[in-house]
Chain A
């Protein structure tokens, strides 16, 4: 755990220091105390810092959301993407990107930049609420219903996104494509602050559910017998996940693999007990997002390609490797 924390701090500092213009570590500290020159301060405050903060929020939110969903659904493949939260967020964002000018022509220019993230966030919340309502009709929230509803929602969202792509013009198509690949650099300061506040709050609340998530692992009936209010825990964890994942998807687009891989890695390193697994996942999520962003930015300077490409490129094979070595040692599954 200490090593994880160290890795997290290191990657965060590297993300601040490295880039098209290298800012030595000393200058970073000077900037903190207000003694650096204007250009350096500008780079740090206007470009690097929002990027780092967005990255931390994205990493922590996706990893915790993934850990929570995997825990509640007792399914190592469950992540926020699977149950449709990301799909809902994407649909909201794409609607704004393509139809924004038509639908929101009355919105003052000052508020324009917020439309995209707001729509993505609302999409995520709407989908989560819809799925939970649908799944709750039978009285208890069945895992199978939830996942299947997620599949259906993703399909519908995909169809709408396809239709939007079809009717969009060249410029819209470009921004749509970039947003949907995920990027940390797109967020402005207001959005970064909202994002960090929401993720900090939801993360602290989620960490309190470690024991509940442990109990989910013996099955819902047994968890109830052991004293867990199963329905309430599910509802709250679902809402916390929707809130945090929706917010970061709004800020940075749909970024894949973090919610799936980070909890897996945490489980391999720290074991399955959520008291360690949750904070461990969050740290690994941050490390993953930071490294992915660094790798992709440094590979083709000064261009800043979307981070989603990197997370999938690094996350996919790494996940496979973990899976294979983990299977050999018998730590995955049961």
Chain B
């Protein structure tokens, strides 16, 4: 479905991605994790046709991304940006239908938009100006816009892949689960879903496969229980972890904060302050 072979991306003289090979099959939810600067967003940019490759090629449904027009790319894949924003007061329905391709008929477009808005609990808001909504609601409308684009692509026989770049970063835990459920919903209907996440436990709970990136290279690629091991995470993030076995072979990961020592330090300092010494 989505196939990156030998992909390298360079920023100035820094190699942000170094000869990366990655396949995302249709129906699969792949989560990419890694420290800041590991190349997660660059990998996403390369896979969506948004980055200039110095080497390698990315193919979506058998067609190379290079040489496809932006409109063509938009039919094949939809992308939710890291911090989506809006400079004018579109209504919820206007923003949600913004990504509709021109090939889709107005009737189909309206039905599609209504369908997605209903699924994301936004239908009641459809005439409200987006800037009046809360941060979480606004984010959900942008998700709706991306899902409408993907559905429209599927309606036209395309819509192969969905990309979400840190889609949960600014959301409370309930909204995080909503977003990941939508991602899973599309994966189960044959879409290749590619999500960049910082939250290792969210990744563990929802991913079919986790890809760990480090310094522009793929450090690990496999099932959550294969990838999320204390040794592996410790090496990549530079702090120690405890990985506990979780339900359905999905581990729980707890960073070892050395809490006891820190709490002891604080208690000791407070005591000194209160006794005035």
Contact = CB atoms under 8 A, between A and B. Distances in A.
B132 interface: yes
Interface stretch (B94-102, B175-183, B258-266): B94-102
B81 A221 contact: yes
Contacts of B71: 227-229
Interface string B65-109: 000011101110011010011111111001100110110000000
B130 A334 contact: yes
Contacts of B101: 227
Given A219-B81, A334-B130, A228 B90 contact: no
Chain A interface residue number, banded: 20 to 34
Contacts of A217: 86-88, 90
Interface residues of A, dominant DSSP: loop
A330 interface: yes
B90 A222 contact: no
A278 interface: no
B244 interface: no
A271 B89 contact: yes
A227 to B, nearest CB: 3
Given A222-B81, A224-B50, A334 B89 contact: yes
Contacts of A230: 70
A102 to B, nearest CB: 48
A330 B73 CA distance: 36
B214 interface: no
Nearest to B83: A219
Contacts of A227: 70-71, 73-75, 99, 101, 149
B131 A226 contact: no
A265 B256 CA distance: 58
Contacts, number: 77
A273 B127 CA distance: 13
A211 interface: yes
Interface string A5-33: 00000000000000000000000000000
Interface string B181-214: 0000000000000000000000000000000000
Name, among A74, A217, A330, A333, the residue most crowded by chain B CB atoms within 10 Å (CB to CB).
A217
A225 B50 contact: yes
B129 interface: yes
B48 interface: yes
Interface string B236-272: 0000000000000000000000000000000000000
A174 to B, nearest CB: 44
A225 B81 contact: yes
Contacts of B81: 219, 221-222, 225
Contact of B70 (A214, A228, A330): A228
Nearest to A231: B70
B98 A215 contact: yes
B92 to A, nearest CB: 13
A74 B132 CA distance: 19
Nearest to B90: A272
Contacts of B50: 221, 224-225
Interface string B129-145: 11110000000001001
Q: What are the 6 A-B residue pairs with the smallest beta carbon separation, nearest first? A: A227-B74, A272-B88, A334-B131, A226-B99, A225-B79, A74-B87
6 contacts: A225-B50, A227-B70, A272-B94, A330-B129, A330-B131, A331-B129
